Structure 1
């Protein structure tokens, strides 16, 4: 019997288009009519949108991936946030008046207004498909993670089969629920850029914040092996030594913001992968009966697909696609400069950039075709 495979789609704003390309590459090499190869699907930030879309159509995996690809290829900034002159100026003034001067009501505001994204998701997503996929045995569970501002916890909201138990760990908790668009907006609410989302009695923001164990939810939901699709454009490995790379120019706000987002979206995932690899090494040294014991250390097979090219360099090539108002808004912090392209790579919801990321993801998946098929237990 094949082990249960989990799919982990990490966060990353517009970078999540890369995940769609990887899924498209997988769908391309699977035999026609193949059932959903990922019974457990977990997403964070924009990866939550991809995860729930995939789960909603899990009964037709290949067709759903094709629809998801078409969705991302047609993206424009105005579908995600107010990018017109009145919208950008009004939101900037609200932010300055309320957040910096303390004037006005207490409604949480952010630098940009992402209300269009909520409208788009409500129009395009049919979340009733999750129930159908669960009932038909095409799906075991789907989950999205958001950060609770009041409790300071990473909260994983999941919808799954009977028998999955909630969990409570240090600063992370699993909560059964019926997923809706508000959960997706909460998971994708990048701090300061997008406003927090109220669910129940708490406000939630991007799930990548303080997510110390991003692989853990998939394991709680029953995954025995996991495919991780990352959004880091840098190969995992030792960092450059201190002083090896330098510059005389003071970093811009966009450059600092890009590093902050990288630390939230990328570093915790890579740290968790390293920890899991060490635990796997320890688990292989232990007797077999320990693996089946409560809280045992049964090895978890992991495969990672991540960008083979720096995504900030790709974003820099497409910065001209930004709408004029948004380009001017981002020019001050330096996001339209090459040095600030790290921040831009998370915000560039435009068709040209997203399409290039999709094609990169497809190529990276096809380059690992044999490994992916072997990992998924599919005959070539």
Structure 2
């Protein structure tokens, strides 16, 4: 087994890492570069854009379009580097100690580079009519902020009636198959009270204090799940979790705060329903509103859903899971607490497995890296997948 990826993988990865595709930015420069790369090899791409046209998904097919596709899927956006200390340039490729450094190297431009490097070989096999399946290449936008873009890509595939046999999402799993993951939902809670001079606190309604009571309620729900909730032994965190991640409010220490806002999340197991936790928080908020309005009739508490990504669990016997089992030399697979676009694909009835180079431990960190050996392993894995999908002559 080689520990070094091909020169083409590194050349493509160097180009991909040079694009700042932080989710708040456009990904079009990267997408247009990929369109041009594919066109050089005679492969046409279809783009689906966001509402203002500043971002795009890409889908390209290699082989007979009437054959069901094995889709190789990756997201193009990355998380910010703000506030992080990097030893290496974040948006350049650096090599040291058997690693490639750069934002997105593990999550997940390394996988995309490995896929694109295979295109010339796959096109040659298509010209020889060797494929038993077509190969789909899917690149999405805004995965890091709630799997927002891939829905339009999937809708486009459905509208064009593209047959899909299954999807492999190349998130960093150390090239081990992931067959299940949790869902994630984010909610913003806005608490509106009444401002007052801090010497006259009974005349005000302290929005921060009422928000704190709601946050405490969320923590109690989390503790109950940790102690008594359903368990799934495959997961590193085997129960549903809740936590509050952001909070802001108040203007000065001597003013009873009128407003407070916080964001909380739920990560739930397949088969569970996160709405039950949101309903509990909403019911408790309703009781607090009654209490607040005894002082300030204008007081209120409202909720806004920001993110809702479904959980994922693959079905035994599906084609992509069988491929992954053979190629990874294992039965079954792992389950993880983080969320991927597999939930969106599975929701649309597309069988999935998650498998890609690098470790999720490195994702989102300063000096993010992927090991060269992992890129080489991904190349070999894709070559072995190719062998399973082409006719032997």
- Greater CA radius of gyration, 1 or 2? 2
Structure with higher helix content: 1
Q: Normalized per residue, which structure has more strand?
A: 2
Shared fold (TM-score greater than 0.5)?
Answer: no
Q: TM-score, normalised by structure 2?
A: 0.25
